[in-house]
């Protein structure tokens, strides 16, 4: 494997450095990643300053509180209907005569602030709607702290065409772990990447035993506290399949050299095996503070960003092979990642629709992957070398969502007949 060109995420490179405080834009500020990032910023005011926030618009009170505490200049919401409530919430927090931040609204608002003047953009948006802000940040030359894996997965060639080597710093715990472990050696010395998975709440169950699991059971993750979509994706291991595609795109490692192992304790976040037989693992107790700090502060480390292990206490770390029969999602993800073009977008969009149907009680747990597989199969194989555009991605997603809804509704009707 050649050491040139450098991959999208390269710990040996820093796309831009800055003296003093680092100016940040946080996208998805009211979500899990966003709120934790803001907590990190508030604990490190000498290191970071937030200039703009964006959110969907459903939690205007929280967004206004964040804007006031951080004294940002711009706040963006995707929902134009949330502007009135946001402005009212801001006025309640700002003093008389104190200027309110600029408010941007609409589907392009996040992309607009992603391209604004700053050092680093943290994309903490959930779902493929994060693609446009990702592209905007890269085009503007910002360092991209990427928690929105979907934007890279569905728009891989588009992202790779815009990103300078090392411009992306991953924020997923697994990819932040790989990023740090890769700093220990050259790309040509990497034998394989080992991505760890907790196994979710249903580790050890057979496919038959998964048939009747409930929404509440799927949302009860044993080691991580996340939003509902990501939590269900962790239960089906779709999230791990997406991370395999992401690792391939970030680090330019072939799919046959990216392995998934189950590690229930979620202490080791991922590993890199080198050609001399050495394996480097990155480990902390389950907490997103560390990956977020890597994304915002690299190449510097932020003291006490995450809890450390107490090595004076005994603990057990276990590793198991992946059960591909009960959890076929990783294999399907490898397949669509190898196909490329619009196939990953179809996979991701169909899954998002099926997760929504499951959470609404309209699709059984096993029906999620059964339906996604059917949609991917129906989509077929893209022609080799077919160029990809944003319009292609959106068209493929629209079709996949509609087809997934149709198949989900059919399955529900048949189950009730």
Known binding-site residues for Mn(2+) equal: 172, 174, 243
Report the distance separating Cα 171 and Cα 168, nearest Å. Answer: 9
Helix residue ranges per DSSP H, 56-166: 60-70, 83-93, 109-114, 131-139, 149-154, 156-162
Report the distance separating Cα 195 and Cα 189, nearest Å. Answer: 18
- Known binding-site residues for 1-deoxy-D-xylulose 5-phosphate equal 149, 173-174, 198, 221, 234, 239-240, 243
Q: Dihedral of CA 312/316/319/323: which sign?
A: negative
Report the distance separating Cα 399 and Cα 393, nearest Å. Answer: 10
CA atoms lying within 13 Å on the CB side of residue 206: 2
Report the distance separating Cα 64 and Cα 53, nearest Å. Answer: 10
Please tell me what DSSP assigns to residue 108: T
- Known binding-site residues for NADPH equal 30-33, 56, 148, 150, 227
Nearest Cα neighbor of 366 from 200, 197, 214 is: 214
Q: Which residues contact 86 (CB under 8 A, 6 or more apart)?
A: 57, 60, 63, 64, 75, 77, 103
- Known binding-site residues equal 30-33, 56, 148-150, 172-174, 198, 221, 227, 234, 239-240, 243
Q: How far is CA 409 from the centre of its chain?
A: 28
Report the distance separating Cα 170 and Cα 153, nearest Å. Answer: 13
């Amino acid at each position: 494997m050649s050491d040139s060109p450098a991959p999208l995420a390269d710990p040996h490179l820093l796309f831009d450095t800055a003296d003093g405080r680092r100016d940040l834009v946080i996208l998805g500020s009211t979500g899990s990643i966003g709120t934790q990032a803001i907590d990190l910023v508030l604990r490190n005011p000498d290191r970071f300053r937030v200039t703009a926030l964006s959110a969907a618009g459903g939690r205007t009170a929280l967004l206004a509180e964040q804007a006031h505490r951080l004294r940002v200049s711009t706040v963006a919401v995707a929902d134009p209907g949330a502007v009135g409530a946001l402005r009212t919430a801001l006025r309640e927090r700002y003093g008389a005569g104190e200027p309110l931040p600029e408010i941007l609204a609409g589907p392009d608002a996040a992309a607009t602030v992603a391209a604004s003047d700053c050092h680093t953009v943290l994309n903490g948006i959930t779902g493929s709607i994060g693609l446009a802000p990702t592209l905007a940040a890269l085009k503007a030359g910002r360092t991209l702290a990427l928690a929105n894996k979907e934007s890279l997965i569905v728009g891989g060639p588009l992202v790779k065409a815009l990103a300078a080597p090392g411009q992306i710093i991953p924020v997923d715990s697994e990819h932040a772990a790989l990023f740090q472990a890769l700093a220990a050696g050259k790309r040509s010395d990497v034998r394989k990447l080992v991505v760890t998975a907790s196994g979710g709440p249903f580790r050890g169950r057979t496919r038959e035993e998964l048939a009747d699991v409930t929404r509440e059971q799927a949302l009860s993750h044993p080691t991580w506290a996340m939003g509902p979509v990501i939590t269900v994706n962790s239960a089906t291991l779709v999230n791990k399949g997406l991370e395999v595609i992401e690792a391939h795109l970030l680090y330019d490692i072939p799919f046959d050299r990216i392995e998934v192992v189950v590690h229930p304790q979620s202490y080791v976040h991922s590993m890199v095996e080198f050609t001399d037989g050495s394996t480097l693992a990155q480990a902390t107790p389950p907490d997103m503070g560390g990956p977020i700090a890597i994304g915002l502060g690299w190449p510097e480390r932020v003291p006490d960003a995450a809890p450390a292990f107490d090595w004076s206490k005994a603990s057990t770390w276990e590793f198991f092979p992946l059960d591909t029969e009960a959890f076929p999602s990783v294999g399907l993800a490898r397949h669509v990642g190898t196909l490329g073009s619009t196939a990953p977008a179809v996979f991701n969009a169909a899954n998002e629709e099926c997760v929504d149907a499951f959470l609404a009680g309209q699709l059984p747990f096993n029906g999620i992957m059964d339906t996604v597989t059917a949609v991917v199969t129906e989509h077929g194989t893209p022609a080799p070398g077919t160029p990809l555009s944003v319009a292609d991605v959106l068209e493929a997603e629209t079709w996949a969502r509609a087809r997934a809804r149709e198949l989900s509704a059919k399955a529900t009707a048949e189950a009730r007949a």
